[in-house]
Amino acid sequence: MKRVAILISGGGSNMLRLVESMTGDHPARPVLVASNDPAARGLDRARALGISAEAVDHRPFKGDRAAFEDSLRAVLDAHAPDILCLAGFMRILTPGFIAAYEGRMLNIHPSLLPKYKGLHTHVRALEAGDAEHGCTVHLVTPELDDGPILGQARVPVMDGDTPESLAARVLVQEHRLYPMVLRRFAEGGRELPLYT
């Protein structure tokens, strides 16, 4: 059975879908939900499901990323995860931290990578007049939002869309795609990306 740790910064709706999917004959189980923000709503949601939830507040480290990450790694490694899932985790990780979990750290990003790496993806897709938008699950590498793609889901951009309405349509696909990709990854599947 693969052990999965999930990192969040906010409400954790993706985290919840991942946790809910890891039941029955699923080859993995959640062992920890961790956050850089002690006030992240997702921590209480994880605790309500009986999952260990811990916070390592990044603010007291005053920008010392290495020190913050050392503390985060200590919390993570105490749960010996096989797989890490970034789910709305908003801290940029250093190459050193990424190297420690190389090839087993996944992230979900709300755009059709390689388009719109970074922030404000929905505004940028609307400003560009795109007909399609979506989300991507990829392996995390030192280059931000650049790792090998494991899966993508597409949505139409509709007339009258706002960043909020588009984000909501993409989030529905995120909640479908991430559990599908995690299951396949935990089963050892490394074949072609999943397109839905």
Report d(CA 168, CA 135) in Å as an integer: 12
Q: CB neighbours of 55 closer than 8 A, spacing ≥ 6? A: 34, 35, 36, 37, 38, 40, 43
Cβ atoms within 10 Å, residue 88: 21
Which residue is catalytic, options 58, 109, 133, 138?
Answer: 109
Which residue stretch of 67-75, 91-99, 105-113, 146-154 sits at the interface with ligand GRF (rule: CB under 6 A)?
Answer: 105-113
Question: Which 39-98 positions form the footprint of ligand GRF (CB under 6 A)?
Answer: 87-88
The only residue of 2, 5, 6, 12 in contact with ligand GRF, by rule CB under 6 A: 12
Size of the site for ligand GRF (CB under 6 A): 14
The only residue of 75, 100, 123, 171 in contact with ligand GRF, by rule CB under 6 A: 171
Q: 70 or 169, CB closer to ligand GRF?
A: 169
10 binds ligand GRF (CB under 6 A): yes
126 binds ligand GRF (CB under 6 A): no
x/- mask, ligand GRF, residues 131-170, rule CB under 6 A, reads ----------------------------------------
**Catalytically annotated residues:** 109
